[in-house]
Structure formats: structure tokens, C-alpha cells
Amino acid sequence: MVLIDLINANGTHFSPNSWRVRMALAHKGLAFEVRDIGFMDVPSLHPQGEKVTIPTLVHGERWVTDSFAIVRYLDEAFPNTPRLTGTGSETALLQFFQNWVQTTVHAGLARLIMQDLHRSLLPTDQAYFRESRERIYKMTIEEIQAGREERVAAFHKSLQPMRQSLQAQPFLGGAQPSYADYLAFGGFQWARISSTFAVLNADDVVHTWFERCLDLYGGLGRQDAAAVATR
């Protein structure tokens, strides 16, 4: 299996949605290779010109795109590995959790790291990224990130339901990590790789949980280095 994934200028993998899949593959003990690309490569990826997004998993002749579709595919294609998407009602609740991650974790983090993220990308990807994000946010990359020191406390507060769960148990899945953990992990990993800004306080159980997730599967999450401060 080949996971097609984006790299930044440091050659590290920053896509939050790809990290969901990478952790899911490790959870299932499935071996995979990674094909590194930039945003500019995405439109010409598929041999028959089908539209794909990142992450995409290629399994033999089969191309599967979108992180949730990939994890559901893995549950079906490898029925003897630990299931991640569960029963009907659990799948539906995971989709709610993914919505929460997108609207709270990803959207909150984006406004804390956008300029750093832009600066970390491959030079050939920066113009596309700036133009597309500035169109979505209706402000400049610099304006999106501005004032983050004042805004980070509101981000911390928005994590309260996740914090309450992690005060009672080590993982969102309970005693062991579940796909909910990987959904949330992807966002914080994106920030770790793209920015040196401390998005969590060191004494927050969410921070402790994130470090715990980085340790999973032989430290898989640490194989891609954190952003380093530049002068």
C-alpha cells in the first residue's frame, strides 16, 4: 500500500488528515510506503485523471481518497485487523467527532499557525496556499495569525469537552486509543510540525495526551520532526 502525502520544505509530513490515516494503518499493524508530493502535484496524480485529495491510499489497482473513506476501506479490506469505524451508531458518532475536530481543533489551530504554516511549505506551494487561504478567510495570511497570543486562551477553552474526557481516561477511546484519538491527534501534529508556537499549555491534560499519542507505535508521530525556531 502507498500513502500519497504532502511534504513541506523540511521534507516532513504536515497534513492533519494524512496523520489520521498513518495512525490508523499503525493501529492495524499494516505496512505501507509513502509517496511524497507537493500541492502542485495533486491535480496530475491519478493516472486516469480522476480528482483526488490528500490523503489518498493506493492499494494495488484501488485508489481511495478522503481520510474517513480510507479508514472505512481498511476496516473492510482487512477484516482481521482491529476495527476503527465500529458499528453503525459509532460510525455516525465518529463523524460528529470529525466535524467537531474540523470546526474546533483545525479551525482554531489554523488561526494560530497560518503564517508559520505558509512559511514552512515548499517554495513551489506557497503562492497557491496563500491565494486559496486568503480567499477562504477574506484576509491575508498574516492577518489570520495576528493576535494569537491574545486568542490562544479562547482556543484552550474550546477544547473543554475533550479535556473533560481526558481527565477521566488516558485516551478519547478510553484505556486504549481509538480513531477519535487519531482524528484529534492529526490537528495537533499539524501544528507541531508547522509551527513553534505553543498551542497548548504544558500543564493541560490535552498536552499530556498529545505526547502520549506521539509515543504510540514506536514513536511514529516523532519520526517527523517538530518545527524548529529560526532566527
Residues that bind a second copy (CB under 8 A): 86-97, 99-100, 102-104, 160-162, 164-165, 168-169, 171-176, 178, 180
Q: How many residues does the chain have?
A: 231
| Nearer of residues 124 and 176 to a second copy, judged by Cβ | 176
Classify each residue of 124-145 as buried b or exposed e, where b means 16 or more C-beta atoms within 10 Å of its C-beta.
ebbeebbeebbeeeeeebeebb
Q: At closest approach, how far in Å is the CB of 92 from a second copy?
A: 4
Indicate the pairing of strand 56-59 with strand 33-37. Answer: unpaired
Alpha helices in 28-66 (DSSP H): none
| Nearer of residues 91 and 126 to a second copy, judged by Cβ | 91
| Nearer of residues 169 and 223 to a second copy, judged by Cβ | 169
Q: At closest approach, how far in Å is the CB of 169 from a second copy?
A: 6
Neighbour count for residue 157 (Cβ, 10 Å): 10
| Nearer of residues 73 and 100 to a second copy, judged by Cβ | 100
| Nearer of residues 44 and 89 to a second copy, judged by Cβ | 89
Can you tell me the distance from the alpha carbon of 86 to that of 93, in angstroms, rounded to the nearest whole number? 10
Instruction: Return the DSSP state at 174.
Output: B
Q: At closest approach, how far in Å is the CB of 105 from a second copy?
A: 11
| Nearer of residues 14 and 185 to a second copy, judged by Cβ | 185
Q: At closest approach, how far in Å is the CB of 76 from a second copy?
A: 17
Residues 6+ apart with CB under 8 A from 116: 145, 194, 195, 196, 197, 227
Q: What residue type is 18 in one-letter code?
A: S
